[in-house]
A and B are shown apart, each in its own frame.
Chain A
Amino acid sequence: MSTLEIKDLKVQVKTEDGPKEILKGVTLTIKDGETHAIMGPNGSGKSTLAYSIAGHPRYEVTGGTVTLDGEDVLEMSVDERARAGLFLAMQYPVEVPGVSVANFLRTAKTAIDGEAPKLRTWVKDVNGVMERMNLDASFSQRSVNEGFSGGEKKRHEIAQLDLLDPKVAILDETDSGLDIDALKVVSEGVNRFREREGKGVLLITHYTRILRYIKPDYVHVFVDGQVADEGGPELADELEANGYEKYLGTKV
């Protein structure tokens, strides 16, 4: 059982002209086994929401709360949040030169579980995931995200999701920049995760395309640092047809 509860979250970012408010009170609850899609135009604050939940130091929370199963997430360090069961698949995964994917995955798994994984099953698990994500055998020996294609980066994020097995996954535009085959592979990876017992997913996307493969239970429209509308999957179809104009218009 896992519930991520975001209440009236306000976040600002430091800029050269002083702090700038980006999230203006976001409230959202993701319960057991639910998938929530957040859709919104560029610059609306979707990544800010994802980073703030994960604890990126650049974003300062000025109000509101985030809890995971009642535990105060905002009190936790970045790595404590991950160990508590949060996972963020990043829009722009970061290169870590000289650190192999194999070493990275094993170090992360050890940190999350509090003990090193059993060697034999671990190797099998990693190979299985790589195969399902359509990443070839030599991939493990490459440096994390270095020289990866856009698609490889995203598939690598989902491979981590599979192996690290968090309670709640936040996927920040995992679909952006993927061709249709990669999109299917990634979606299948996310769906396998969703089939597991009691997993929550917050799927951030700019396009409706991925929602054909990953069916959300709820859709939230995100505009100017706030949830402007919410509904069921049908809301995505409406956005597909009419775009965000309606919401941007009401802003004035």
Chain B
Amino acid sequence: MTAVAEALEAADQGHVESHLNPPASYDLADHPVPNGREEVWRFTPLKRLRGILDGDASSDHLTWETTLPAGVTLTEITAEQAVEIGELAPNERPAALAAANSGGAMLLDVPADTVVEEPVVIRLKGSSVDDLVWGRLLYRVGAHAEVTIVLLHTGSARYSAIQSFLVGDGAKVNVLSLQDWDDDAVHLGRDAIRVGRDASVKHTSISFGGDLVRMHANVEYAGPGGEAELLGLYFADEGQHLEHRLFADHNAPKTKSHVVYKGALQGRGAHTVWIGNVLIRKVAEGIETYEENRNLVLTDGCQADSVPNLEIETGEIAGAGHASATARFDDEQLFYLRSRGVSEKEAQRLVVHGFFNDLIRKVGIPSIEEKLLETVEAELAKNVLKELT
């Protein structure tokens, strides 16, 4: 049975309640401290959040270094202004805490009809995991504007952030968030995107560093014709927990979502989680959605959890599908390469590069693509290629 048929059958039997989207609310009472058995928390080792969910007030902050091309502004706004502008309200505790505790918010503005050639770069650096940092950022891209936004997270902190991307009609936005933290960092991130009518958004989340990283990428639509491409790449080492949770809420007709996340795992206790939720609402006729998660397990002792969910409330869909696969090295691939004289380690290196290559090429930011290839190389050097050097 196809995914669509399965979901429709479930709908016929009256099983579908919208369990994929807990209601959004700023009220902390709506987001109680989890015990770890909740559906949305069951994969996350709560202890390793190091108390973030207690929600202590803090004035710690990350250091900011920005590259703002002409036409782009970055200003501080109040919490009230954030809501007025149309911030996408939190639907889980860390994001609600970030909204409650961050004091104000930062607003990046790209005016309508502005085409920004150079990427906006925001470098956020933490100085210590003892720091508890609440982040609240809004990105407002006007109608028919075009911009690329790169967010780089380095250093260490316990960082919980709520980010909203408000994309105007017909705009083209490319967002990349790189989690390249030190080994002990904890990062809980909620990115939510509202895609304007006929707008197109690419959002890429890349996680290499940190002890525990849990990122949401949510997308909803302000009108018909919007397109969202959600990409992700992660590389979990020994003991790392990297979690990516996607939610495409097709709340308007003729909208598209395309999700591709790829991960590699190596070393004892490397754990990755990918949750791909897609909701196709009754109004959302003629939409197209596809989601895919692939994991490559490079050594023993790793765990990759991968859960696609498709919830469909209308039968009038142009296309819906999903794929999820977790695999070890393919012996046939390695044999083929080695039969051409390539050593085992070199063959493994080629296969891993190949695994990520097509995804990296889709990112669409040449300067970053180069760096990503290097980072994949460096990650491989830690384990798989250790014997080579």
Measured CB to CB, the residues of A under 8 A from B are 54-58, 77-79, 81-83, 87-88, 90, 93-99, 103-104, 107-108, 111-112, 143-144, 160, 164
Say yes or no: B340 contacts A160, CB within 8 Å: yes
Select one of A56, A78, A97 contacting B354, CB under 8 A.
Answer: A97
Select one of A93, A98, A108 contacting B341, CB under 8 A.
Answer: A108
**Interface flag for B331 (CB, 8 Å):** yes
CA distance A79 to B342 in the complex (A): 6
Say yes or no: B338 contacts A97, CB within 8 Å: no
CA distance A58 to B347 in the complex (A): 18
Within 8 Å CB of B344, what residues of A? 77, 79
Select one of B336, B339, B356, B358 contacting A96, CB under 8 A.
Answer: B336
Say yes or no: A112 contacts B336, CB within 8 Å: no
| New A-B pairs, 9, CB < 8 Å, besides A55-B339, A112-B340 | A79-B342, A79-B344, A83-B341, A93-B336, A94-B330, A96-B337, A96-B354, A98-B353, A99-B354
Select one of A55, A94, A160 contacting B332, CB under 8 A.
Answer: A94
A142 CB to nearest B CB, Å: 12
Closest 7 CB pairs of A and B: A98-B354, A98-B357, A82-B341, A108-B340, A111-B341, A94-B336, A99-B354
B263 CB to nearest A CB, Å: 15
Say yes or no: B346 contacts A97, CB within 8 Å: no
CA distance A57 to B333 in the complex (A): 12
CA distance A54 to B334 in the complex (A): 13
CA distance A87 to B339 in the complex (A): 7
Q: Decide yes or no: A98 and B356 within 8 Å by CB, A111-B343, A111-B346 being known contacts.
A: yes
Within 8 Å CB of A77, what residues of B? 338, 344
Q: What number of A-B contacts does a CB cutoff of 8 Å give?
A: 81
Say yes or no: A99 contacts B350, CB within 8 Å: yes
CA distance A139 to B273 in the complex (A): 37
Say yes or no: B340 contacts A94, CB within 8 Å: no
B330 CB to nearest A CB, Å: 8
Select one of A78, A95, A97 contacting B339, CB under 8 A.
Answer: A78
Q: Decide yes or no: A96 and B351 within 8 Å by CB, A57-B331, A57-B335, A78-B335 being known contacts.
A: yes
Measured CB to CB, the residues of B under 8 A from A are 330-333, 335-344, 346-347, 350-351, 353-358
CA distance A87 to B342 in the complex (A): 12
Say yes or no: A78 contacts B358, CB within 8 Å: no
CA distance A206 to B310 in the complex (A): 48
Of the listed residues A54, A58, A79, A88, the one surrounded by the most CB atoms of chain B closer than 10 A to its CB is A79
CA distance A78 to B338 in the complex (A): 6
Can you name the residue of chain B whose Cβ is closest to the Cβ of A93? B336
Say yes or no: A79 contacts B350, CB within 8 Å: no
Q: Decide yes or no: A104 and B335 within 8 Å by CB, A79-B341, A98-B356, A98-B357 being known contacts.
A: no
Within 8 Å CB of B332, what residues of A? 94
A92 CB to nearest B CB, Å: 9
29 residue pairs from A and B, CB less than 8 Å apart? A55-B339, A57-B331, A58-B331, A78-B339, A79-B338, A79-B339, A79-B340, A79-B343, A79-B344, A82-B339, A82-B342, A87-B339, A90-B336, A94-B333, A96-B336, A96-B351, A96-B354, A97-B355, A98-B353, A99-B353, A104-B350, A107-B342, A107-B350, A108-B337, A108-B340, A108-B342, A111-B340, A111-B346, A112-B341
Within 8 Å CB of B358, what residues of A? 97-98
CA distance A111 to B335 in the complex (A): 15
Within 8 Å CB of B336, what residues of A? 90, 93-94, 96, 144
Within 8 Å CB of A164, what residues of B? 340-341
A46 CB to nearest B CB, Å: 17
Say yes or no: B354 contacts A88, CB within 8 Å: no
Within 8 Å CB of A112, what residues of B? 340-341
CA distance A107 to B356 in the complex (A): 18
Select one of B330, B331, B342, B354 contacting A111, CB under 8 A.
Answer: B342
B260 CB to nearest A CB, Å: 13
Say yes or no: A99 contacts B341, CB within 8 Å: no
B246 CB to nearest A CB, Å: 22
Say yes or no: B340 contacts A98, CB within 8 Å: no
Within 8 Å CB of A58, what residues of B? 331
Within 8 Å CB of B330, what residues of A? 94
Within 8 Å CB of A94, what residues of B? 330, 332-333, 335-336
Say yes or no: A99 contacts B342, CB within 8 Å: no
Q: Decide yes or no: A103 and B350 within 8 Å by CB, A79-B343, A94-B332, A97-B358 being known contacts.
A: yes
